[in-house]
A and B are shown apart, each in its own frame.
Chain A
Amino acid sequence: MKINGFTTVIVRDRDGKVLSRKRLPLRSFLRAYNHLLCVQTRFETTPSPAIRTNDTGGTLRSLSPGSDWRCNAGVGTTLYGIRVGTDNTAVDIAQYALIAAIAEGAGGGQMNHLVTSFNFIGVVGGQCSFEIERVIENNSGGAIGVEEVGIYSRANTVGDTNRYFCIARDLHSEAVPDEGSITVTYTIRVVA
């Protein structure tokens, strides 16, 4: 069975007026997503053989169960939570990060990240859904072209060190005006 879902991207101008709203099917779970599910399934502190995957810096890490998949990032935090970037390279399941993730800040090419929040929609008909959402503001002084969105997750690694893994990446092409914002929503759904 396919876990359905959507990515919804809304762009607003400085006055909050909606300039663009697009919704695309969710097709973006990456390798790290499945590896993190596997490590939770086994719930061994040190799985043997090791379950290894690349963190967002490209370094192979040995996974351990615990806070895996966590993406409840606070304001200004870009180590995890929803991220956006400027590269439109096609999605490949082996990717471990956005290709050109936009950094936190109000300088040139930077954006201000608000909290990553969650909304449990629950059961509607034969579906059960929840949303992960983040508003990201452009205070850089110029327009920024967003081409990719994704989810960075915090997870345990062997030795109990938290590392960060990209579990989803999708392409969305949007221009975010100066003082405007982009709202990215992942709707994750199971269907009976």
Chain B
Amino acid sequence: MSELLEYEVIITDKDGKVIQRVKGPARSYLKAYNQLRLGQMSNVVQTVKDTGGTNRTPTAGDTYLLGMESAEDVVTHGIRYGTGDTAVDISDYALEAPIGQGAGAGQLDHYICQAGSPTVSATESAFELKRGAVNGSGDTIIVKEIGVYAIARQAAVLYYFCIVRDVLGAPVTIPDGGGITVIYTFKAVE
């Protein structure tokens, strides 16, 4: 039995037609993921660097810890896209160059980020975390990195932590008016 993480990136044109689909094993759980998981298991507060590079001490054993779903237009947490291509370092605490929310130059309009329910088979348990975004910037946008920002709470204040970062094997180009959808699949497999 192993814990696996996989991703799929789907690019569509302005008419919704799929023009590119990339699948691969994610290689990118980061230090923050293991620290937050340790906090959950031990019920001892850990010092974890947030996406702004500031050390935080999120509450252990908390409802919000490792929350990854997010609402439309919200980019503090959930799946993120970026334009950086520096190799992943286990101590990365953010995407190198995350793409902002909006319809301006170099921005994407983010949909909700939603997790599905676990599916179960004889050999695996899996669930998906999925988010789409539309490019209304007026120009193409090239995505080179993807990742997941998760929530954790300290003294009732929400902070955000990058727990996954992947640099794509080859950049993907979102045409103007087109979209991108990223699906991360979390698996325990036999």
Q: Which residues of A contact B (CB under 8 A)?
A: 1-3, 26-31, 33-35, 37-38, 40-43, 45, 47, 49, 51, 64-72, 91-94, 118, 120, 122-123, 126-130, 132, 153, 168, 188-192
Question: Given A42-B67, A43-B151, A91–B89 Cβ distance below 8 Å?
Answer: no
**CB–CB A118/B44 < 8 A:** yes
Identify which of B37, B63, B88, B150 contacts A65 (C-beta below 8 A).
B63
**CB–CB B68/A123 < 8 A:** no
Identify which of B2, B46, B68 contacts A120 (C-beta below 8 A).
B46
**CB–CB A128/B188 < 8 A:** no
**CB–CB A92/B190 < 8 A:** yes
**CB–CB A29/B62 < 8 A:** no
A182 to B188, CA, bound (A): 28
**CB–CB A192/B88 < 8 A:** yes
**CB–CB B89/A192 < 8 A:** yes
Residue numbers in B under 8 Å from A128 (CB-CB): 30-31, 34-35, 90-91
A66 to B123, CA, bound (A): 27
* Cross-chain pairs A/B with CB under 8 angstroms, 13 sampled: A1-B26, A27-B1, A29-B1, A37-B66, A43-B67, A70-B42, A70-B43, A92-B190, A93-B122, A126-B90, A129-B34, A188-B38, A192-B28
Q: Mark B1-24, 1 if CB is under 8 A from A, else 0.
A: 111110000000000000000000
Question: Given A28-B1, A34-B3, A37-B66, A123–B90 Cβ distance below 8 Å?
Answer: yes
